[in-house]
Homo-oligomer: A and B are copies of this chain.
Amino acid sequence: MKKMTKRELLAERGWIARRTVVFLSDFGTSDGAVSAMHGVANGVSVDLGLYDLTHDVPQFNIWEASYRLAQSLPYWAAGTVFVCVVDPGVGSDRKSLVALTASGHLVVTPDNGTLTHISDRIGLLEVRSIEVEAHRLAGSQKSHTFFGRDVYAYSGARLASGQVAFEDLGPVIPKLVKLKIERPRLEQGALIGSIDILDARYGSLWTNIPSEMLEEMGVGLGDEVAITISNDGRIVYGYHLPLCKAFTDVRKGEALIYVNSLLNLAVAINQGSFASQYQIGSGEGWKIAFSAVS
């Protein structure tokens, strides 16, 4: 994505409201909670387009929410507003934030780490602390437990419809809560990174290592690559796999390395689940290393 200056972004948002809000939460969709957020946003303006990134983030899993947000946000147009509510600290004194990303997106979310991957990969131009009592749904003052509906959906919808400006939601804050991310790096000839996440449906491992780094090691399509996967220092998988263009480059049931849709290195089994077959997990503690086969 092209980076924009804050001036350019605000100008753009000034003359066209994108009218699009994308919701992310750990609420699930079996009760009325997500619908209440949609209703509040629709009530702010019937002309908004309301979308759901997912509401199946594992309960209280801030890290996955942060990752999912960074995974999907770049594919939405600048000016799109994200409302991200995974909030174990709801009702506590944790701040409520609105962030302007370097890509021109806005994110409304509690200050608990959900902006970590966005900040790391895309960048944040400015983050403000929402003055909650001034920017919440009328009549919702008594409810302390559903900020997602009363503050985040409401403020996100007002931003998306141009009824409130980014600057008017609250003061700039110098720093925000962030989770620890393992950076991809080259160490003694091995390409090291973390397993960001497990591709939910296909059981692939998605690493945070850009495919370019492997190319820099002189490894190309069809080459065998040595892989080591460890969990808290204990090696749980070690083998050679081919770097493939497509799952179908190997037989059904065979493992491969490929470049995923985020252009990072990933490991999978053609029409199977690498994660469950080898009991691999994701997030902090999980480490993966790639090296050329000599």
Which of A72-80, A186-194, A286-294 forms contacts with chain B? A72-80
Q: Name the contact of A259 in the complex, choosing from B32, B144, B199 (C-beta under 8 A).
A: B144
Contact flag A31-B68 (CB < 8 Å), given A50-B51, A88-B271, A259-B145: yes
Pairwise interchain contact A42-B53, C-beta atoms closer than 8 A: no
Chain A 242-265, CB-CB to B under 8 Å as 1, else 0, gives: 000111110000000011110100
- A162 on the interface (CB 8 Å rule)? no
Chain A 190-225, CB-CB to B under 8 Å as 1, else 0, gives: 000000010111100000000100000000000000
Select from chain B the residue with minimum beta-carbon distance to A36: B75
Contact flag A39-B76 (CB < 8 Å), given A142-B263, A145-B260, A261-B145: yes
- A128 on the interface (CB 8 Å rule)? no
Number of residues from A at the complex interface, CB < 8 A: 69
Contact flag A20-B36 (CB < 8 Å), given A142-B263, A263-B142: no
Which of A5-13, A89-97, A167-175, A233-241 forms contacts with chain B? A89-97
Residues of B within 8 A of A31 (CB): 54, 68, 71, 197, 199-201
Q: How far is the CA of A14 from the CA of B74 in the complex (A)?
A: 32
**Among A34, A54, A149, A261: residue with most chain B CB under 10 A:** A261
Pairwise interchain contact B92-A32, C-beta atoms closer than 8 A: no
Cβ of A271 to closest chain B Cβ, rounded Å: 6
Cβ of A200 to closest chain B Cβ, rounded Å: 4
CB neighbors of B among A21-53 (8 A): 22, 26-40, 42-43, 46, 49-53
Q: How far is the CA of A248 from the CA of B87 in the complex (A)?
A: 11
Pairwise interchain contact B202-A59, C-beta atoms closer than 8 A: yes
- A56 on the interface (CB 8 Å rule)? yes
Residues of B within 8 A of A50 (CB): 49, 51
Residues of B within 8 A of A22 (CB): 35, 39
Cβ of A163 to closest chain B Cβ, rounded Å: 15
CB neighbors of B among A80-131 (8 A): 80, 88-92
Q: How far is the CA of A90 from the CA of B59 in the complex (A)?
A: 32
Residues of B within 8 A of A149 (CB): 75, 261
Q: Name the contact of A248 in the complex, choosing from B20, B59, B92, B150 (C-beta under 8 A).
A: B92
Given contacts A29-B52, A31-B197, 16 further A-B contacts (CB under 8 A): A31-B199, A34-B54, A35-B54, A35-B72, A36-B75, A39-B77, A43-B76, A59-B202, A60-B271, A91-B247, A142-B259, A143-B259, A143-B261, A144-B246, A145-B260, A146-B260
| Chain A interface (Cβ < 8 Å from any Cβ of B) | 18-20, 22, 26-40, 42-43, 46, 49-54, 56-57, 59-60, 68, 71-73, 75-77, 80, 88-92, 142-146, 149-150, 197, 199-202, 211, 245-249, 258-261, 263, 271
